[in-house]
Amino acid sequence: GAPRPRTVYHGGAFMTAEDVRLPASTQALHYGTGVFEGIRGYWDPTAHTLLVFRLNEHLERLQRSAAVLRLDLGHPIAELAELVLELLRRNDCRHDTYVRPMGYKLALEPGTSFGVRLSGVSSALTMSALPMGSYVDQRGVRCKVSRFRRVPTNCVPSSAKISGLYVNNALAMEDAVADGCDDAILLDLAGNVSEATTSNVFVVGRDGTVITPPATADLLPGITRASVIELLAAEAGITVVQRLVTVAELKDAAEVFLTGTGVEIAPVLSVDDVGYGGAAGPVTRKVKDLYSRVVHGELEAYRHWLTLLTLG
């Protein structure tokens, strides 16, 4: 049969996705003045329940990102969480699902000029949900060290997930794909490892040390990244060292993996012409296994990271 029309939350109401209309004057279209999140829900067919991973943490980051752009999402976090759950209910999301809330600058107030600025510009909120399985090949990805450097935090605050910033990531990705790679690893202006286009980078040294660049560096401090650091410490007795990583360390590593809501835990098979053994190494496999058990609700100690939505 014909696919059921998708329901989105837009402009204060739930509506069919095709009915969304945005004025051509929408400021975010012009200047990238929006913020967004990516949130995953994992379907548990036995319990008829969608397990939404770290919903509050994502909404808190959305609020913090919004504050950077003086965006008013119109709802406190508890209400945003309710709206996300209602969106999932209305779309009857009985499958692994990706939720994309977006806050963005709409239009300058009437009688004001068409300016590049933040205050005096109204805000809008749109949220959609779509089925999503693996976003990248879970057996591993091939990466290229990008010729595009990561926008530094003193140009655009790195801890905010700002739409316009992703021009940087899209350029890097396009260039990597043109070179036959799956993803790009961007360096900061000083030449240290920053992050991949939609994920954070972890390096396992030949001595077994697990390293990732600090949350204060020029990168988006991922919620998956924080979860992995916590899981490795508590469940594997591995303390992740948070410090800057050089390209030499990246290429000399025993294992490299990426963490992010979309990519989940993705082994890196190669960076440029350097390979890491053709398959996920032991630390990467451990992280993948822990993460998978946590998001599927199989580890009791981390059930509080999940918001349960039972769909009857």
Query: Using the 8-state DSSP alphabet, how is residue 259 labeled?
Result: E
Q: Where does this chain bind ligand PMP (CB under 6 A)?
A: 38, 169, 195, 198-200, 220, 222-225, 259-261
Whose tokens are 């410490």? That residue is 233
CB nearer ligand PMP, residue 128 or residue 199: 199
CB nearer ligand PMP, residue 81 or residue 311: 81
Residue 102 one-letter amino acid: M
Minimum Å distance from CB 152 to ligand PMP?
Answer: 13
Residues 6+ apart with CB under 8 A from 41: 50, 51, 52, 53, 88, 93, 96, 97, 98, 99, 129, 309
Minimum Å distance from CB 200 to ligand PMP?
Answer: 5
CB nearer ligand PMP, residue 171 or residue 311: 171
CB nearer ligand PMP, residue 123 or residue 200: 200
Among the listed residues 161, 251, 286, 288, the single catalytic one is 161
- Confirm whether 286 is a catalytic residue: no
Token pair listed for 248: 């030499």
Minimum Å distance from CB 1 to ligand PMP?
Answer: 34
**Angstrom distance (rounded) from CA 202 to CA 284:** 9
Minimum Å distance from CB 179 to ligand PMP?
Answer: 19
Token pair listed for 140: 């591993």
> 255 pairs with which residues across the strands?
204
Minimum Å distance from CB 65 to ligand PMP?
Answer: 11
Task: Classify 192 as helix, strand or coil.
Answer: coil
Closest CA to 144 of 257, 253, 271, 256: 271
With CB atoms as reference, the residue minimizing the distance to ligand PMP is 222
Q: For residue 126, what is the enclosing H or E element?
A: strand 121-131
Query: Residue 299: left if φ>0, alpha if ψ -120 to 50, beta else—which one?
Result: beta
CB nearer ligand PMP, residue 195 or residue 255: 195
CB nearer ligand PMP, residue 73 or residue 219: 219
Minimum Å distance from CB 303 to ligand PMP?
Answer: 19
Distance, first Cα to last Cα, the chain? 22
Residues 6+ apart with CB under 8 A from 53: 39, 40, 41, 42, 261, 295, 305, 306
Catalytic site positions: 161
